Amino acid sequence: MSAIETVLVTGGTGQTGRTVTDLLHGRGVDVVVASRQAPQDPLPSGVRHTRFDWADDATHDEALRGGIDSIYLLPPPLDPDPVDVVDRFLGRARAAGVRRAVLLNSSAFPLCASGLHAVRLTVQQMPEWSVLLASGFMQNFLGEHPTAIAVRTHHEIVAAAGDGRMGWIDAEDVAAAAAELLTRADHSSREHVLTGPEALSYDRVAVTIAAAWELPVRYRSISPTERGAQLLDAGLPATFVDALVGADVLTANGAEDRVTAEIPQLLGRTATSFAQFVRRHSPSPEPTDRRNEP
Ligand SMILES: NC(=O)c1ccc[n+]([C@@H]2O[C@H](COP(=O)([O-])OP(=O)(O)OC[C@H]3O[C@@H](n4cnc5c(N)ncnc54)[C@H](OP(=O)(O)O)[C@@H]3O)[C@@H](O)[C@H]2O)c1
C-alpha cells in the first residue's frame, strides 16, 4: 500500500485540528485545512485552506480535490444527528479515492444521543478507519469555554456528575494520536478510547486548579434537570443539551471512571496529567479585564 501523502483536516482551524495540521506538516505530509472561515493566523508554508461548510454540499467536492488520501473528520459541531451529511461526504470521499478517515467523537455520549453513536458506523465504510472516543478535554477549563468562564468569574465548576470520575485528556494528546493514525503505515481499523493518565472527580479537578492558579475554585454538583436548564439558558440547542446532560449522568454513574493505555501505545510517551496541564497553562483573562487594559 502506498504512503499517505495528503491529508484533509476538517475543523482544521479548531483546537485539535490546528495541532493535527502542525504535526502532519512537520512530518512532511501535504495538509489541506478545511473550515468555513479562513484561519486567523497564517498557515505553515505549503499548507492550503479550503472553504468547507458541512451545511453546503457544494464545498465538499472542492475540499476532496487534489488527491486526498486520508481525512481528519470532525462532524458538524453541536449537531446531534450528523449521520446523513457525514455519510454523503464520505461517499464522495470514497469516490474521489480517499482511503482513510479518522473520526473524533466523545467517549461519554449517552445512548439517547443515537445519531452521535451512529456516525461511528458511518466512518467504518471507509477502506481504513479509526474512531477516537475521547474523554473530557482539559481545555474545557481554558479560554472561552463556558466551564472556564464559570471558573474565572464565579470560581466554581458546575455539573451534574456527582462524584463520578473522568479520565480527563489534553486535546493536544488527542490531536497527536489523530496525526499518528491518519498517516501510520501499519494501520488497523478500530475504535480507540483515549484518556489521560488518571481519572479525577470534579472535586479533585477543582482542588488541582485552585492550587495551580491560586483561585478558590469549588465544585457544585447540581441535578440533571438543573444542568439541562442551565445549558439551555446558555443558548445550546435542546437536542444537544440532552446529550451533554446524559454525559454528566453517565459520569456520575461511573461509566467514565477509566484510564486506557492508548496514548502511551500510540505516542510512545505518557499522556499529560491534569496537574501538568494546569501548571503549563494559565486561565485566560476575562474579556472585561481586557477592556480595562490601557
Ligand atoms: N470538549 C470536550 O470535552 C470533548 C471531548 C471529547 C470529544 N470532543 C469532540 O471534539 C470536537 C470538537 O473538536 P475541537 O475542539 O478540535 O474543535 P473546535 O475547537 O470546537 O473547532 C471547531 C472547528 O470546526 C469548524 N466548523 C464549525 N462549524 C462548521 C461547519 N458548519 N462546517 C465546517 N466546519 C465547521 C470550525 O471552523 P469554522 O467555524 O471556521 O467553520 C473549527 O475549525 C467535537 O466533535 C466534540 O464532540 C470534545
For the chain, which domains are there?
6-137+168-196+258-271 (3.40.50.720)
pLDDT at 95: 97
Element (H, E) at 158: strand 156-159
AA letter at 195: T
Ligand 1 centroid–CA 14 distance in Å is: 6
pLDDT at 287: 43
Band (233; pLDDT cuts 50, 70, 90):
very high
DSSP category for residue 100: E
How far apart CA 151 and CA 167 sit, in angstroms, is: 20
Q: What is the pLDDT of residues 83-129, one digit of tens each?
A: 999 999 999 999 999 999 999 999 998 888 889 999 999 999 999 99
pLDDT at 293: 30
* DSSP state letters, 20-31: HHHHHHHTT-EE
Q: Are 222 and 159 in contact (CB under 8 A)?
A: yes
From 61, 53, 4, select the one nearest 28 (Cα to Cα).
4
What the block records as the C-alpha cell of 17 is 485540528
What the block records as the C-alpha cell of 278 is 494546569
Q: What is the pLDDT of residues 234-246, one digit of tens each?
A: 898 998 899 999 9
The stretch 24-43 carries a mean pLDDT of: 96
Q: What is the pLDDT of residues 46-69, one digit of tens each?
A: 999 999 999 999 999 999 999 999
pLDDT at 285: 57
Q: Is the CB of 197 under 6 A from ligand 1?
A: no
From 36, 96, 109, 99, select the one nearest 66 (Cα to Cα).
96
Which protein residue has the closest C-alpha to ligand 1 atom 8?
Answer: 106
- Best residue among 20, 35, 62, 71 to mutate for probing ligand 1's pocket (most ligand atoms within 8 Å of CB) is 35
